[in-house]
Structure 1
Amino acid sequence: METQSTHQSFGDLIQGDKPVLVDFSAEWCGPCKMMPPILKELKQMTGDNLIILKMDVDRNPQVANAYQIQAVPTLMVFQNGEVKWRQSGVMNARELKRVVDQYVK
């Protein structure tokens, strides 16, 4: 999982040219527990071309509300401040790579 310096807010991170995959999840969510190894595999496939963030909806309710997160896990790709793609549910790393490859320059 990629760690960002604390002075960069979520809003700042998603403004960039580099695609950002956000995993909206919760501690109590069973399927969410399947995502970390999938995201780790995706990170190995994409390297520095993709930023991957995990967002706990219970700890960040304002962000979850802003993007109308109704179910977890919900995966979203942001680029240049825009939502480029979103889907709820678990996906494997290859499926996710196909999605993010559209936005990697």
Structure 2
Amino acid sequence: MTSDAFFDESAGAGVLTQRGPFESGVDGSKPPLDLSGAEWLSSSQGVGDVQIAFVDGFIAMRDGRSPEGPSLIFTPAEWNAFVLGARDGEFDLT
């Protein structure tokens, strides 16, 4: 499976840029994705509990300790907002 998303080195780590047209469902929802052949990536830091995969222009995230469980699906814009929010401390508990 290929993806039209790529990491934008000039925007900082983890920020994605969309190449080509972005398509979603007719009502703006995300289409169901076949994640069975996805290449799941874990962080090189930590124990790799969170895994991500790039599938058909979307970013999937799952719990690596429970890979058979559900996956969150992000558009490139949603992923960028998440990464930038995390970088800015938006999700810090303290």
TM-score, with length taken from structure 2: 0.32
The structure carrying a bigger helix percent of its residues is 1
Higher-Rg member (1/2): 2
